[in-house]
Amino acid sequence: MKDVVIANKYVLLEKIGVGKFGIVYKGIHKKTQQNVAIKMEKKDQEIATIKHETIILNHLYRKGCRDVPFVLWYGVYFDYTCLVMTYFEKTLCECKDKLVNEKEKINKIMYRIIEIIENVHEHYVIHRDIKIENFMILENEIFIIDFGLATFYIDENNEHIRYKKREYITGTPKYISINIHNGIEPSRRDDLISIGYLYLYLYYGNLPWNNVPNIHHTLNEESMHILNGKNMYIKDKKELNNIMEYAINSGCDKYIDYCYNLKYTEKPNYTILKNMFL
């Protein structure tokens, strides 16, 4: 991709990320020298997310949400669909080693992350792929990225999406909520539960289910199937009675308990949740 110039103004510099569906590059605006992030995916690939992500980001930005990337350009470059957006300095993941056992610092981060997801939810969007790699830092502020799996939880009839069962996971197995493991359609509560797992990851530097043993499961070997052996192992570790010991020791037990007990369509009390970390 050397010497590539997209939309006659954005120059590709270097690859900075590879996801399930596309590649992210650092780029620069030719005239202003402003750094940008450029996400690209093959036009004809089976699962395409960039157009959908652009719709979600534009919706959130129009509604006043400033915790997400700003879409600078969307379009097609030869065989690729491209999304040019805000470039962030680093991920929260790059800071994690300095945060282990630093409860006061982690609590401030948690407060901000809950505030961000409250803002996203307020505009009828659920993220569905909460993980440490999707929180970015720019000028000491935290932002959320990667809305390729996001969706609206309010339908065209102004009603909450229906509760339904599914066999496959949406999101990243390490961070998906216990409800997703149980084959339930994601809702607001699941973004919040994933944030709870993120807290444990920051506090301990790992998660109880980080080191999954080699498991062979005869029923279904597909990696994103809820009955895949590794996913079943992770699910067991996330059961409330198993995770509470880690939650209590880290001081995140009330948060975990509250989120685990939310009903599918229930609106979370974000103020209560934020105040748990003051």
Q: Which helix (H) or strand (E) holds 50?
A: helix 50-62
Contact (CB, 8 A) for 210 and 271: no
Residue type, 110: M
Crossing angle of helices 188-204 and 240-250, in 10° steps, is 50
Q: 142 — phi, psi (to 5°)?
A: -100, 140
Q: 132 — phi, psi (to 5°)?
A: -60, -35
Query: What would the 3-class secondary structure string for 173-205 be?
Result: CCCCCHHHHCCECCCHHHHHHHHHHHHHHHHHC
Q: Is 3 a catalytic residue?
A: no
Longest CA–CA separation in the chain, Å: 57
Beta strands in the chain (DSSP E): 5-6, 10-18, 23-29, 35-42, 71-77, 80-86, 90-91, 125-126, 135-138, 141-144, 151-152
Distance CA 145, CA 75 (A): 19
Options 129, 146, 190, 191, the catalytic residue = 129
The strand pairing partners of 160, in sequence order, are 154
Catalytic site positions: 129
